[in-house]
């Protein structure tokens, strides 16, 4: 037993993986409905396990988020009549915790529920289409801002997943991963309609023209979120030290 526990403490495993799934957003143009307006998303990752319970993961995901007031059932959104999309380039590093001991290729420790949390950064570029193709919005200052928001933002990625072994060298996982952001402009909508001469043709798309300068275009008290969900397929890499420098222990 002592030898087995020593092996687990000194266990190291490296993996590369591929993510395939979808992305979506929660914000001013989709305030409540999860998984609505989902788009295909892909990614790559590197995972370094320090023992059977903990691992560190570094990854990059690419996806698109969007929403459209015209497809809402809310009267105020139908009247506002805005739409957007943004491609998201998401870089993240997270720590993972397995609820039970797990490693790829182990006959006993072959599946586990897990949690993860960490820090991320992402690039966004909100665009809108009012009939003549998608146009970039950030530089237009559609709410009369004195300074444009940055397209590069920080996020707090976290989530939950379930992983299991397919073969001695391949593992599969399914996970859901929210990203809490610190911006309300992922959708280019946050505050009030601009005064005359500010903003652009994209600022006010209200159907009957009832929106006026100073009235609320969005909700500045909340920040936007985006999400990834899907599967990862993970490939175990050869260990350079053969676990504890070639020493063989019972598992």
Instruction: Transcribe 166-210 into DSSP letters.
Output: SSSSEEEEEEEEEEEES-S-TTS--SBPPPTTSS-TTT---TTS-
Q: CA 184 to CA 202: how far, in whole Å?
A: 17
Question: How many Cβ atoms sit within 10 Å of the Cβ of residue 200?
Answer: 14
- Structural class in CATH, domain 2-236: mainly beta
The tokens describing 241, both together, are 């030290």
Q: Give CA separation, 64 vs 105, 151, 189, in Å.
A: 35, 14, 17
Measured in residues, the chain has a length of 251
Give the mean pLDDT of 173-185: 98
Alpha helices by DSSP H, listed for the chain, are 2-10, 75-80
Range name among 33-37, 77-81, 211-215 with the lowest pLDDT average: 211-215
Residue 251 confidence (pLDDT) = 39
Closest to 231 (Cα-Cα) out of 158, 159, 156, 162? 162
Question: How many Cβ atoms sit within 10 Å of the Cβ of residue 197?
Answer: 7
Question: How many Cβ atoms sit within 10 Å of the Cβ of residue 176?
Answer: 15
Question: How many Cβ atoms sit within 10 Å of the Cβ of residue 182?
Answer: 10
Report pLDDT digits (tens) over 114-155: 999 999 999 999 999 999 899 999 999 999 999 999 999 999
Give the mean pLDDT of 165-173: 97
Instruction: Return the DSSP state at 71.
Output: G
| Prediction pTM value | 0.90
How does residue 22 score in pLDDT terms, banded at 50, 70 and 90?
A: very high
Cβ atoms 167, 159 nearer than 8 A: no
Among positive and negative, which fits the CA dihedral 188, 193, 195, 200?
positive
Residue 212 confidence (pLDDT) = 86
Report pLDDT digits (tens) over 195-231: 988 999 999 999 876 688 889 999 999 999 999 999 9
Q: CA 132 to CA 118: how far, in whole Å?
A: 40
């Amino acid at each position: 037993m002592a030898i087995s526990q020593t092996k687990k403490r000194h266990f190291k495993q490296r993996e590369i993986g591929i993510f395939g799934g979808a992305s979506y957003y929660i914000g001013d143009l989709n305030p409540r409905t999860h998984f609505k307006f989902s788009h295909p998303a892909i990614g790559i990752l590197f995972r370094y396990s320090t023992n059977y319970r903990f691992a560190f993961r570094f990854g990059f995901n690419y996806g698109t988020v969007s929403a459209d007031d015209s497809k809402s059932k809310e009267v105020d959104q139908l009247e506002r009549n805005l739409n957007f999309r943004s491609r998201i380039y998401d870089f993240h590093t997270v720590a993972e915790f397995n609820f039970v001991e797990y490693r790829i290729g182990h006959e006993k420790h072959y599946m586990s529920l897990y949690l993860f949390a960490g820090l991320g950064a992402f690039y966004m570029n909100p665009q809108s289409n009012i009939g003549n193709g998608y146009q970039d919005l950030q530089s237009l200052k559609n709410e009369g801002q004195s300074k444009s928001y940055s397209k590069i933002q920080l996020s707090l990625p976290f989530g939950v997943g379930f992983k299991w072994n397919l073969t001695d060298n391949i593992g599969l996982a399914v996970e859901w991963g929210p990203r809490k952001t610190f911006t309300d402009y992922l959708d280019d909508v946050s505050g009030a309609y601009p005064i005359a001469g500010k903003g652009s043709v994209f600022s006010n798309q209200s159907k009957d023209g009832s929106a006026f300068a100073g009235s609320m275009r969005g909700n500045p008290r909340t920040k936007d979120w985006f999400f990834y969900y899907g599967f990862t397929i993970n490939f175990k890499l050869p260990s350079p030290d053969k676990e504890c420098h070639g020493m063989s222990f019972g598992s």
